[in-house]
Amino acid sequence: MSTPSSSMWGGRFAEATDQFVAQFTASVQFDQRMYRQDIRGSIAHATMLAEVGVLNVADRDLIIDGLNAIEAEIARGEFVWRVELEDVHMNIESRLTDRIGIAGKRLHTGRSRNDQVATDIRLYLRDEIDAIRGELKRLMTGLIDLAEREAETIMPGFTHLQTAQPVTFGHHLLAWFENIKRDDERLVDLRVRVNRMPLGSAALAGTTYPIDRRITAKLLGFDGLCENSLDAVSDRDFAIEFCSASALIMMHLSRFSEELVLWASAQFNFVDLPDRFCTGSSIMPQKKNPDVPELVRGKSGRVFGHLMALLTLMKGQPLAYNKDNQEDKEPLFDAADTVMGSLRAFADMVPALVPRREVMREAARRGFATATDLADYLVKRGLAFRDAHEVVGKAVGYGVSSGKDLAEMSLAELQNFSADIGEDVFDVLTLEGSVNARDHIGGTAPNQVRAAVVRARQRIN
């Protein structure tokens, strides 16, 4: 079975397109989401053509009014998308010609679908970056607010998932803030490269019409122009870079998710996740499952896959445009959707976390978390660090066999390992003494956490 060749390009064809091929090669099923960007680009293009005298003012006005009417029609859900017209661009142009007649056929003067789609994707991605940055800021604000409230809440810090040293919960939350802040900085940097206009490059070599690309770029809010027409229509670096930045965001959210899943478990019990972010079990009545962080942790894999898909898509393509590039949109769209949804979930959830302060504190008392503090104490008494390390190691060994933490040992017990230990040792073996001693920029001391909160607010504003 076959379908008539598209009236937009079928002039040289002697037979109709196979119906399966028409379905197989069409992209309108997924690229229709760019209709606003496509219409915005077409209005700017028509305006520029009129400015340089290629299009008369009457046709320009007909085109712009027609495109605005079509945008409203799509928004109302009344637009009929036709697979035989292949993509969002030709569907809109065909509908425009139906509405306003021959003036609609003049819109495509001086451009190609190659530079049109490259422009649409950049406009779409620019909008997505701005929206994602809004969710990143919401999440960063939530982290900062919670860190400020929990600046003095003591918890164990971990390496190798083993108790290492005491930290404050506020300090831990600000570590996640730093992750997310770097994600935001990457998007700011990426947006500069996204915001360059390919329109005017036409199919691959530019156009013979006296266009002024700067007019179009200004109308569309682009900061600059793609300088080479061959590169402009075939470049997808910006899409790959977006997926790379998205993969890093999801990696960070996945690590955060892993901690929340652990912390919400009965074994840790560090935090309580509000019920609205959890689900139950169909068979076990007691269950409260941390589905939101688990699902975000799982969704990271699909975004990683999209990055690899785009790299693989582009690696073998010669210049300039190839039909392969139609496969760039679904990974890109899904990466943007996944990141946006995951960030929204976290930005809603993080401010609602309820820390179990006493449980965290008790956990910090286990595992000899102040061992390094004792070693530092001995160094300040004149012992070489390696010797102090050995002394404390023996004290810990004794603690393991006797079931006592360092702070629970008597002075006499501690002095069995070093005569340099005095009564003031208990000031450094307390949890508060340990965290307060890390009193420098980047340290976990509560006053440093509060100072970091102030700087963090300034950085996101």
Mean pLDDT value across the chain:
95
Query: Which one-letter amino acid corresponds to residue 238?
Result: F
If DSSP states are collapsed to H, E and C, what string results for the chain?
Answer: CEECCCCCCHHHCCCCEEHHHHHHHCCHHHHHHHHHHHHHHHHHHHHHHHHCCCCCHHHHHHHHHHHHHHHHHHHCCCCCCCHHHCCHHHHHHHHHHHHHCHHHHCCCCCCCHHHHHHHHHHHHHHHHHHHHHHHHHHHHHHHHHHHHHCCCCEEEEEECCEEEEEEEHHHHHHHHHHHHHHHHHHHHHHHHHHCEECCCCCCCCCCCCCCCHHHHHHHHCCCEECCCHHHHHHCCHHHHHHHHHHHHHHHHHHHHHHHHHHHCCCCCCCEECCHHHCECCCCCCCCCECHHHHHHHHHHHHHHHHHHHHHHHHHCCCCCCCHHHHHHHHHHHHHHHHHHHHHHHHHHHHHHCEECHHHHHHHHHCCCCCHHHHHHHHHHCCCCHHHHHHHHHHHHHHHHHHCCCHHHCCHHHHHCCCCCCCCCHHHHHCHHHHHHHCCCCCCCCHHHHHHHHHHHHHHHC
Q: Is the pLDDT of residue 5 over 70?
A: no
Is position 244 annotated as part of the catalytic site? no
Separation CA 437–CA 399 (nearest Å): 23
Task: Determine which of 46-55, 173-182, 401-410 has the lowest per-residue pLDDT on average.
Answer: 401-410
Position 14 confidence tier, pLDDT thresholds 50, 70, 90: low
Can you give the pTM of this predicted structure? 0.92
pLDDT at position 124 is: 98
- Selected catalytic residue, list 2, 7, 265, 281: 281
Cβ contact 429:407 at 8 Å? yes
Question: What is the rounded average pLDDT of the residues 369-389?
Answer: 93
Task: Tell me which amino acid residue 275 is.
Answer: D
Pair 117, 201: CB distance under 8 Å: no
Tell me which of 160, 282, 401, 410 is the catalytic residue.
160
| Integer Cα distance of 25 and 70 in angstroms | 24
Does pLDDT of 4 surpass 70?
no
Does the pLDDT at position 214 exceed 70?
yes
For the stretch 254-301, pLDDT in tens is 999 999 999 999 999 999 999 998 888 888 888 889 999 999 999 999
* pLDDT given for residue 285 in this prediction: 83
pLDDT score of 335 more than 60: yes
Q: Which residue has the higher pLDDT, 388 or 4?
A: 388
Over residues 305-315, the mean pLDDT reads 98
Q: Is 237 a residue whose pLDDT tops 90?
A: yes
Is 402 annotated in the active site? Answer: no
Confidence of residue 15 (pLDDT cuts 50, 70, 90): confident
Read off the pLDDT of each residue in 416-432 and give the average, rounded to a whole number.
92
In order of their start, the domains of the chain are 16-109 (1.10.275.10), 122-202+224-361 (1.20.200.10), 364-460 (1.10.40.30)
Mean pLDDT on 213-233 = 98
Average pLDDT on 339-355 reads: 97
More confident of the two residues 26 and 49: 49
Lowest mean pLDDT among 4-8, 242-246, 369-373, 437-441: 4-8
Question: What pLDDT, on the 0 to 100 scale, is given for residue 98?
Answer: 97
Residue 378 identity (one-letter amino acid): L
Mean pLDDT of the region 230-234: 98
What's the pLDDT score for residue 10?
A: 63
Strand-strand pairing, 17-18 and 2-3? antiparallel
Region 45-71 average pLDDT: 98
| Predicted confidence (pLDDT) at residue 3 exceeds the cutoff of 70 | no
Output the six-digit token pair for 57.
Answer: 């003012």
| Residue 43 in this model has a pLDDT that exceeds 60 | yes
What is the number of residues in the chain?
A: 461
Q: What is the pLDDT of residue 198?
A: 98
Q: pLDDT category, 2, cuts 50, 70, 90?
A: very low
List, for residues 135-161, the tens digit of each pLDDT value. 999 999 999 999 999 999 999 999 999
